[in-house]
C-alpha cells in the first residue's frame, strides 16, 4: 500500500506543486501528477488515491474536482487547493480546504491527514449506525452543537495575534485570551474548547509547553492545536509538526486564511465530539460493556466484519490492535487486592478518549482490549497502540490504604489484514502477535 500513490495532484505545471510533491514523496506520501481530467480519472479508477491536491490556477478546476469525487465513490476524496490566492470566494466551497500559497510539505501533509481521517470518520459513522441498527438500536449521530466555536488564544498581546483573534470573531468564534501558560491551563480545565491557537512571540517555549501538556492529558489530547509563528527566522517546520501541532501558520499568511483553517479544525473536532457523545448514549442500549462503555466482544466481532468489508470495497488497509494488561509484579499485587478491577473501568475510559474517532475500541475480556483501525497499516497501527499504552502507563492507580499506587503496562499486538483474511483470523493474529511492554519501549 505504501508503494502506491496516495495523493493525486492536479496541476497545469510544476511551478506551484513541484517542491510540494518532492517533499511529500520524501516522507513516503507517494504522489502522482495529472495534467488532464482523463489522466486524473484513470488514476482515481486504477490507484488507491486517498486525497486530491489541486493547483487552483487550473482552468475548470471546480468541475474537474466534482467529476473526480464522483468517480472515487464509495471512497470519499478530500480535496485541498493550493495557490488559491486568486480563488473567488464563491468557488472556495468546492474544496475542503484552500491555501493561498503552495504550502510547506509538512504543513500540507498534516492538513491532508486531517482531511483524510475526517473522511474515514464520516464513513465509519455510517458503519457503526448499521451495526447498532442490525441489533435493533438506533444510534443517533446528532446534529452539530450550534454554539459558536470556542477557541483558546494563548500568548502575550501582539497586533498580529489580535488581528487573528478578530478574524476568528468575524467568523463567529468565541475567542478566550490567555496571556500566560498558567492562565491557559486554568481555562482549559474550566471550559470546553474546540481549538487552541498559540502565539510563538519571541520565545517559543511557552507555546510548546502548553502543547506538550495538552498532549499528555487524556481529556485535552484531541483538541487541535495551531502554532502561530511571529515571523522570526530559523523555524524548523518539520520539527514543529512533529511536536503535535495540528497546523503551523506563518505571520505572513493572511489572517482570514489562518482563521478559516482554525475554524475547519474546530468544526472537525466538534463533529467528532458529537460522535463520541452518541456512542456514550449507546451505553443504555445494553450492547456495550457496562463498566467502560466500550464495545463488547460480540458487538466488536460483528462490527469488525462490517469494517473489513468496507475497507475491501474502498481499497484501504485495516488493522487490528490488541492490548493485554502486562502481568508484572505491580499488577499481580493489585489484582490480588482487587484494586486492578477497580482501575480497569478508568483504563477503558482512557482508551475511549485516546483513540481517534474513526477507531473502534472493545473490551474482549476483563484485562484485554482491542482496537479496529480503518485506513491504517500495521506500522501506523502499532504507533497508535503504543501511544495509548504509553499515556496509560504514566497514570498512577490507587492500590489501597498504605500502599504505593501502581501503574499498568500493556503487551501490544498488531495485525494488518492480508488479502481476503477473515475478520476473526485477523483478530486472532493480532492477539498472538503481542510484544511485551518492556520490548515495546515503555
- Taking only the tens place, the pLDDT of each residue in 386-402 is 999 998 998 999 988 88
Tell the burial category of 89 from Cβ atoms under 10 Å away from its Cβ (0-12, 13-18, 19+): exposed
- pLDDT, mean of residues 48-60: 88
Q: Which three cell numbers stand for residue 69?
A: 469525487
Question: What radius of gyration do the chain's Cα atoms show?
Answer: 23
DSSP-assigned letter for residue 91: G
* pLDDT confidence bin for 235, thresholds 50/70/90: low
- pLDDT, mean of residues 134-155: 83
Coil/strand/helix, residue 82: strand
Residue pair 373/359 in contact (Cβ under 8 Å)? The answer is: yes
Judged against a pLDDT cut of 50, whether residue 442 lies above it is answered with no
Mean pLDDT of the chain: 86
- pLDDT, mean of residues 261-267: 88
Gap between the Cα atoms of 121 and 229, Å rounded: 30
Q: Which three cell numbers stand for residue 46?
A: 486504477
Judged against a pLDDT cut of 80, whether residue 410 lies above it is answered with yes
Give residue 416's pLDDT: 96
Give residue 440's pLDDT: 43
Residue pair 141/271 in contact (Cβ under 8 Å)? The answer is: no
Residue pair 198/211 in contact (Cβ under 8 Å)? The answer is: yes
Judged against a pLDDT cut of 50, whether residue 318 lies above it is answered with yes
Cβ-proximal residues to 157 (8 Å cutoff; 6+ apart), any chain: 179
Residue pair 291/345 in contact (Cβ under 8 Å)? The answer is: yes
Q: What is the pLDDT of residues 161-174, one digit of tens each?
A: 888 999 999 999 99
Give the DSSP H or E segment for 60: none
- pLDDT, mean of residues 133-159: 83
Give residue 76's pLDDT: 87
Give residue 418's pLDDT: 92
Give residue 233's pLDDT: 47
- pLDDT, mean of residues 402-406: 90
Give the residue with greater pLDDT, 419 vs 414: 414
Coil/strand/helix, residue 139: coil
Which range of 21-25, 227-231, 273-277 scores highest in mean pLDDT? It is: 21-25
Give the max Cα distance, the chain. Answer: 73
Amino acid at each position: 500500500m505504501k508503494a502506491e500513490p496516495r495523493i493525486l495532484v492536479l496541476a497545469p505545471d510544476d511551478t506551484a506543486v513541484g517542491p510540494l510533491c518532492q517533499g511529500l514523496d520524501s516522507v513516503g506520501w507517494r504522489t502522482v501528477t495529472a495534467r488532464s481530467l482523463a489522466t486524473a480519472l484513470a488514476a482515481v479508477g486504477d490507484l488507491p488515491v486517498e486525497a486530491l491536491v489541486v493547483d487552483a490556477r487550473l482552468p475548470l478546476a471546480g468541475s474537474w474536482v466534482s467529476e473526480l469525487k464522483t468517480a472515487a465513490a464509495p471512497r470519499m476524496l478530500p480535496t485541498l487547493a493550493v495557490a488559491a490566492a486568486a480563488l473567488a470566494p464563491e468557488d472556495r466551497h468546492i474544496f475542503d480546504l484552500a491555501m493561498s500559497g503552495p504550502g510547506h510539505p509538512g504543513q500540507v501533509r498534516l492538513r491532508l491527514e486531517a482531511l483524510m481521517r475526517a473522511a474515514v470518520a464520516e464513513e465509519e459513522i455510517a458503519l457503526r449506525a448499521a451495526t447498532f441498527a442490525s441489533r435493533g438500536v438506533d444510534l443517533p449521530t446528532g446534529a452539530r452543537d450550534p454554539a459558536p466555536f470556542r477557541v483558546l488564544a494563548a500568548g502575550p498581546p501582539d497586533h498580529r495575534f489580535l488581528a487573528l483573534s478578530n478574524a476568528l470573531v468575524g467568523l463567529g468564534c468565541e475567542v478566550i485570551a490567555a496571556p500566560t501558560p498558567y492562565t491557559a491551563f486554568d481555562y482549559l480545565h474550566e471550559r470546553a474548547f474546540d481549538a487552541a491557537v498559540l502565539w510563538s512571540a519571541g520565545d517559543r517555549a511557552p507555546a510548546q509547553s502548553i502543547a506538550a501538556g495538552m498532549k499528555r492529558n487524556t481529556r485535552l489530547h484531541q483538541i487541535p492545536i495551531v502554532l502561530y509563528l511571529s515571523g522570526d527566522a530559523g523555524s524548523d517546520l518539520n520539527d514543529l509538526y512533529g511536536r503535535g501541532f495540528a497546523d503551523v501558520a506563518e505571520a505572513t499568511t493572511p489572517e482570514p486564511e489562518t482563521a478559516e483553517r482554525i475554524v475547519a479544525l474546530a468544526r472537525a473536532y466538534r463533529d467528532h465530539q458529537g460522535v463520541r457523545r452518541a456512542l456514550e448514549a449507546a451505553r443504555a442500549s445494553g450492547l456495550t460493556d457496562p463498566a467502560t462503555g466500550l464495545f463488547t466482544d460480540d458487538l466488536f466481532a460483528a462490527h469488525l466484519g462490517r469494517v473489513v468489508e468496507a475497507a475491501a470495497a474502498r481499497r484501504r488497509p485495516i488493522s487490528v490492535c490488541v492490548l493485554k494488561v502486562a502481568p508484572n509484579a505491580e499488577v499481580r499485587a493489585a489484582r490480588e487486592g482487587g484494586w486492578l478491577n477497580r482501575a480497569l473501568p478508568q483504563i477503558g475510559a482512557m482508551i475511549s478518549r485516546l483513540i481517534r474517532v474513526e477507531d473502534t475500541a472493545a473490551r474482549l475480556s476483563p484485562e484485554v482490549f482491542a482496537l479496529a483501525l480503518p485506513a491504517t497499516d500495521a506500522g501506523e497501527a502499532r504507533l497508535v497502540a503504543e501511544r495509548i499504552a504509553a499515556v496509560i502507563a504514566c497514570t498512577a492507580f490507587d492500590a489501597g490504604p498504605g500502599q504505593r499506587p501502581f501503574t499498568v503496562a500493556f503487551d501490544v499486538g498488531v495485525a494488518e489484514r492480508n488479502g481476503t483474511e477473515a475478520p476473526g483470523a485477523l483478530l486472532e493474529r493480532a492477539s498472538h502477535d503481542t510484544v511485551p511492554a518492556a520490548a515495546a519501549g515503555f
